[in-house]
Chain A
Amino acid sequence: MKKALSSYEKTCNVILFVLLSIWFVASFGCGILFREWLDQNAPSIGNAPFGFWMAQQGSIITFVLIIIAYVILMNRADDKHGYKEDND
């Protein structure tokens, strides 16, 4: 019953996986799990320790960039596979 994944689905899955990995690393990774290590070892942003800055500013900025990337990549994938809507 299982059908082979179409190339569109493959592209979508890759986009999903890559963006979610970045999402996880930026928030849970830098902001929580490795925060202490990063505070001590990574270069600080202005006067803010890196992990702290990621938790309060950097992660949010990353999230916005992730969604923008998502919109661009998905729209491109749709166009390439002929899922373009006529009226936009």
Chain B
Amino acid sequence: MSQQTLNLIFIGLSFALYIVIAIRSRASSTKEYYIAGGGVSPFANGMATAADWMSAATFISMAGTVAISGYDGSRFLMGWTGGFVLLTILMVPFLRKFGKATVPDFIGDRYYSKTARAVAVVCALFICMTYIMGQMRGVGVVFSQLFGIGIPAGVLAGALIVFIYAGLGGMKGITYTQVAQYSVMAFAYTIPAIFIALMLTGNAIPQVGLVGNTLDGVSFLDKLNNINHELGFHQYTAGKLSTLNMFCITAALMCGTAGLPHVIVRFFTVKNVRAVRKSAAWTLAFIAVVYLTAPAVGAFARVNLIESLNEKKAKELPVWFAEFEKTGQMSWEDKNNDGVVQYRGPMHEQENELYFGNDIMVMANPSMANLPMWVIALLMAGCIAAALSTAAGLLLVLSTSISHDLMKKIIRPDLSDKDEVKWARIASFIALLIATYFGINPPSTFIAKTVAFAFGLAASSFFPTLLLGIFSKRMNKEGAIAGMIAGIGFTFSYIVYFQFMGGTSDQYFLGITPEGIGFIGMIINFIISFLVCIFTSSPPEDVIEMVEEIHIPIK
């Protein structure tokens, strides 16, 4: 049986499983559509949230980033897990106690204003759209590799599947499907890592292998540092980002996590505050399984890639190289015409001849290590599960923001439940069309970076506003609205200027890249909120009572 057939069988089987689950738990009411009826167990919700959370950026892009940039890749590792601590401790138990289905709902009520609600809807749209673009790109990369087609065609194929799948079941369907998806993802990620760890270090636990010795008895990380040094790259364990930039990016990702509407909404699906806490603990534990493996996967992939391609003659190149070349994911340009591949870093006198995207490392990893075909097929199924589950969760939040927060609460309060669900479906269709366009023409060709922008937007808009809404009784609508607009406005303009309008790196503010600017946007949001708040009147009595109320776990 060929690899292609086996891939299709694995993906087909996993899909059949998801669809069966989605149909069996189809939503029948709006409450089920949005928050799965509010009765999911903490364990199941933890798993589903983990699947929702781990997107194509985590699954496909993250280990690749670690492989390319070594220590610098830690910004994603820490940012996307550390944010969960903020989310659990500062946000979700209180929002759950408040008990409304969406983030704009909370902002609208807490800041007693339709304007605040509308601004929140707009922020949610920007955040989710940017995030979905990254996912569509991810689906595109996988499908393109799978069928040997270009990325644009891959993105289109992916969009079709996401649409069919997300419209099917609403939140209830999605929750249980995501439990299945988490399982597929966890196995797909860890099994290849175990195989490769055994091959390179003789240790079955990748995390131990990473800090251990290779089969020849030298330290694995020293070996990697030496390779990097010889080829003219910065030291693997040191990285080259400035400390300030590293700090800002990590902080933006963390605070962004705590302001991401699709993750927050997940915690509305469990029954009470206690269950929310437990559920969050499960989620982080499930996420940690993958995140602790990623640094090992990245490091192993780097060694394998270099050993199988560098200094090889054209005819010695492995078969898989041709496959990745065909889809444009890897390329070799023989600049000095010696018929040998030279992979070189910026600090080497020779020119680099080998090009590959960060996003291809995880997918190429099992092929590079010559792993059995079924492992590769499982990995493919995992990649698709990662992108699909997140895209579906995001589409749901996006469509809810439009149908519930915009249509029902602001424009047409007399909307029936049935019409609300209809609007949700229309909204998700349009959103998907836009996301498909930007999946083909993304803000950054590198998935994790596109997704990092979404986090920056969330950090600069929702994080401060929610935090102040929960912990400050004095914060009023004027402050919140001004803060959100200033924060997201600044961050969005910065990103657009540098990604689409040709801003150059010497123009960076304090050397902070667009990935990390959300942190500055967040500080701006806080400052503006406080300043405006001082000069305007305090919120009404019932809102102050409401803030006191949400800190008490039960009625």
Residue-wise, chain B 221-238 has the 8 Å CB interface mask toward A (1 for contact) of: 110000000000000011
From B277-285, B367-375, B522-530, give the one contacting chain A.
Answer: B277-285
Closest chain-A Cβ to B123's Cβ sits at a distance in Å of 25
Give Cα distance in the complex from A78 to B250, angstroms: 33
B533 beta carbon closer than 8 Å to chain A: no
Name A35-88 residues within 8 Å CB distance of B.
Answer: 35-36, 39, 45-49, 52-53, 55-57, 59-61, 63-64, 66-68, 70-71, 74-75, 78, 83-85, 88
Q: Are A27 and B78 in contact (CB under 8 A)?
A: yes
> Which of B247, B272, B284, B551 touches A12 (beta carbons < 8 Å)?
B551
Q: Are B284 and A88 in contact (CB under 8 A)?
A: no
Q: Are B237 and A71 in contact (CB under 8 A)?
A: no
B319 beta carbon closer than 8 Å to chain A: no
From B134-142, B209-217, B409-417, B450-458, give the one contacting chain A.
Answer: B209-217
Q: Are A60 and B288 in contact (CB under 8 A)?
A: yes
Known: A60-B81, A83-B554. A52 touches B274 (CB 8 A): no
Q: Are B78 and A64 in contact (CB under 8 A)?
A: no
Q: Are B89 and A16 in contact (CB under 8 A)?
A: yes
Known: A52-B71, A55-B77. A47 touches B288 (CB 8 A): no
Residues of A within 8 A of B331 (CB): none
Residues of B within 8 A of A60 (CB): 77-78, 81, 288, 291-292
What is the predominant secondary structure among interface residues of chain A facing chain B? Answer: helix
Closest chain-B Cβ to A13's Cβ sits at a distance in Å of 10
Residue from B81, B213, B237 whose CB has the most chain A CB atoms within 10 Å: B237
Residues of A within 8 A of B275 (CB): 88
Residue-wise, chain B 266-301 has the 8 Å CB interface mask toward A (1 for contact) of: 000000101101101100110010011001000000
B33 beta carbon closer than 8 Å to chain A: no
> Which of A12, A47, A78 touches B274 (beta carbons < 8 Å)?
A78
Residues of B within 8 A of A56 (CB): 66, 71, 73-74, 77, 295
Q: Are A47 and B212 in contact (CB under 8 A)?
A: yes
Give Cα distance in the complex from A12 to B94, angstroms: 12
> Which of B210, B272, B284 touches A48 (beta carbons < 8 Å)?
B210
Closest chain-B Cβ to A86's Cβ sits at a distance in Å of 9
Q: Are A46 and B288 in contact (CB under 8 A)?
A: no
Residues of B within 8 A of A75 (CB): 274, 277
A sample of 25 cross-chain residue pairs with beta-carbon separation below 8 angstroms, ordered by A number, consists of A19-B85, A23-B86, A27-B82, A28-B251, A31-B78, A32-B250, A33-B247, A35-B71, A46-B210, A47-B212, A47-B221, A47-B222, A48-B210, A48-B237, A57-B207, A57-B292, A67-B88, A67-B284, A70-B88, A70-B89, A71-B280, A74-B277, A78-B554, A84-B554, A85-B274
A sample of 9 more A-B contacts (CB under 8 A), given A60-B288, A71-B277, A78-B554, is A16-B90, A31-B74, A33-B247, A46-B208, A47-B220, A48-B210, A48-B221, A48-B237, A52-B238
